[in-house]
Amino acid sequence: MDKKSLNVRIARCATEATDIVGLEFIPTDGDTLPPFTAGAHIDIAIRPDLVRQYSLCNAPSETHRYHIAVLRDPNSRGGSVAVHEELREGQTVQISYPRNHFELGDHKHTLLFAGGIGVTPIMCMAEELHRRGSSFTMHYGARSSDRAAFVDRLHASPFSENVEFHFDNGPDEQKLNLTAILRGASRDTHLYVCGPSGFIEAVKSEAAAAGWSTDRVHFEYFGAPAVDTSNDGSFEVRLARSGKAIRVEADQSIVHALACNGVKVETSCEQGVCGTCLTRVLEGEIEHRDHYLLDEEKLANNQMMICCSRSKTPLLVLDM
Ligand code: FES
């Protein structure tokens, strides 16, 4: 793990819902952990060669523990299954310091949307908004209540009246009506959404249709949807500061090609969702494949995520 890291002990592993395990990490040394803000995540070295990011779901005011919840997803890249099968109470694991690419702002009113396991950063935000005394409503959608983590915790929370549950297998009147919610919101409301990509896309497109400006819509993807790479070709990147020219083969990412040539770049998700590898581009046309930059930022064609995005032109000049 490249980033500033620490060792923590797994104090508790508990089933939070069908296929969802919650893990609590406590310090191995001393009583407190580095502070974090709502929306933050940590990298966890599940094994030395398997590092994955998970959002913190406890209140940022807590300093004695980090709490995460992980959905077992056999179709993922293997991290979630390993968490379920290999991590146990009492074990010591290496994690990164918390980092936040999904910062919670200060708004007149906030709408929180959680889809399934996307509840983790959203619940942390609800805790923080409650602590601040801010006005907010949390909408929590899931296939069924037994597949929704932390339902009891939310019912028992001091902000339970701010939480609305929407279960796919429940009665029609409790179903999530995005159109009504988003069209009925005031112009100074901001929304935060996390969940499966289809859920995030639905909230984003409904917000756009309801006239929301993109600066009021904040989102975090867990993982990027699959991309068709069958037509990928090779191209060259030139590093403006060193003058180095590096070929990126059709089956390589820019980050990988750079690493093969001794240029190390800090990465985290390697799927275009976290923003860690953001790089300025000085020349060439970018083929954006990330889920981090806003549409207008992509159109500006001057920055890219070099872990996943590519080039439409034979040459890209990077500001590095
Ligand atoms: Fe996360 Fe590139 S490493 S966006």
CATH of the domain at 299: 3.10.20.30
User: In the 8-state DSSP scheme, what is residue 1?
Assistant: -
Domain count, the chain: 3
| pLDDT tens for each residue of the chain, 320 residues long | 656 889 999 999 999 999 999 999 999 988 899 999 999 999 999 988 888 889 999 999 999 999 999 999 877 777 889 999 999 999 999 999 998 989 999 999 999 999 999 999 999 999 999 999 999 999 999 999 999 999 999 999 999 999 999 999 999 999 999 999 999 999 999 999 999 888 999 999 999 999 999 999 999 987 666 677 888 999 999 999 999 999 999 999 999 999 999 999 988 778 888 888 999 999 999 999 998 888 889 999 999 999 999 999 999 999 99
Is 198 part of any domain?
A: yes
Distance CA 13, CA 23 (A): 5
Q: How many CB atoms lie within 10 A of CB 292?
A: 25
Last residue of a domain, one of 96, 129, 163: 96
Q: CA torsion 273→252→260→53, rounded to 10°? A: 20
* Shared-domain flag, residues 189 and 240: no
State which amino acid sits at residue 77: R
pLDDT for res 222: 75
Q: Decide: 182 in ligand 1 pocket, CB within 6 A.
A: no
Name the token pair of 137.
């409503």
Decide if 226 is inside a domain: no
**In 3-state terms, what secondary structure has residue 204?**
helix
Separation between Cα atoms, residue 157 and residue 162, nearest integer Å: 10
User: How far is 31 from 240, CA to CA, in rounded Å?
Assistant: 46
CATH number at residue 14: 2.40.30.10
Instruction: Say how far apart CA 241 and CA 39 lie, in whole Å.
Output: 34
CA dihedral (80, 42, 270, 256) positive or negative: negative
pLDDT at position 228: 76
Distance 109 CA to ligand 1 centre (A): 30
Choosing from 96, 130, 162, the residue where a domain stops is 96
Give the containing element (helix H, strand E) for 111. Answer: strand 109-115
Say whether 4 sits in a helix, a strand or coil.
Answer: coil
Nearest to 90 by CA among 33, 24, 46: 24
Q: Are residues 53 and 83 in the same domain?
A: yes
Q: Are residues 195 and 291 in the same domain?
A: no
Q: How far apart are CA 111 and CA 185, in angstroms?
A: 9
Residue 277 near ligand 1, beta carbon < 6 Å: yes
Q: Rounded to 5 degrees, what are φ and ψ at 116?
A: 55, -130
Answer yes or no: is 44 within a domain: yes
Residues 279 and 214 occupy one common structural domain: no
Q: Which amino acid is at 153?
A: R
> Are residues 75 and 116 located together in one domain of the fold?
no
Q: Are residues 157 and 216 in the same domain?
A: yes
Give the model confidence (pLDDT) of 264-298 as tens digits. Answer: 998 877 888 888 899 999 999 999 999 888 888 99
Domain residue limits at 126: 109-221
206 and 146 assigned to the same domain: yes
104 within a domain of the structure (yes/no): no
Residue 227 lies inside a defined structural domain of this protein = no
Indicate whether 307 and 251 sit together in one domain. Answer: yes
Domain edge (last residue) among 162, 190, 221: 221
Contacts of 185 (CB under 8 A, 6+ apart): 109, 111, 191, 210, 212
| Nearest in space to 281 (alpha carbons), one of 310, 247, 249 | 310
Whether 307 lines ligand 1, by a CB cut-off of 6 Å, is: yes
Q: Which of 1, 100, 256, 269 to mutate to test the pocket of ligand 1 (most atoms within 8 A of CB)?
A: 269
Q: Is the pTM of this model over 0.85?
A: no
Return the sign of the alpha-carbon dihedral for residues 53, 24, 145, 86: positive
Whether 9 and 48 map to the same domain: the answer is yes
Q: Are residues 149 and 80 in the same domain?
A: no
Does residue 314 sit within a domain? Answer: yes
Q: What region does 212 belong to: left with phi over 0, alpha with psi -120 to 50, or beta? A: beta
CATH code for position 151: 3.40.50.80
Find out whether the beta carbon of 274 lies less than 6 Å from any atom of ligand 1. yes
Q: Is residue 228 part of a domain?
A: no
Does residue 305 share a domain with residue 280? yes
117 to 139, 194, 243, 312: CA distances (angstroms): 13, 8, 44, 35
Residue 101 in domain: no
Radius of gyration of the chain, Cα coordinates, nearest whole angstrom: 20
- Helix (H) or strand (E) run with residue 83 in it: helix 79-86
At 4 the pLDDT is 82
- Residue 207 CB neighbours (<10 A): 24
> Does ligand 1 come within 6 angstroms of the Cβ of 286?
no
Residue whose Cα lies nearest atom 4 of ligand 1: it is: 272
Please report the pLDDT score of residue 224 as a whole number: 65
Shared domain for 263 and 311, answered yes or no, is yes
| Confidence at residue 276, expressed as pLDDT on a 0 to 100 scale | 86
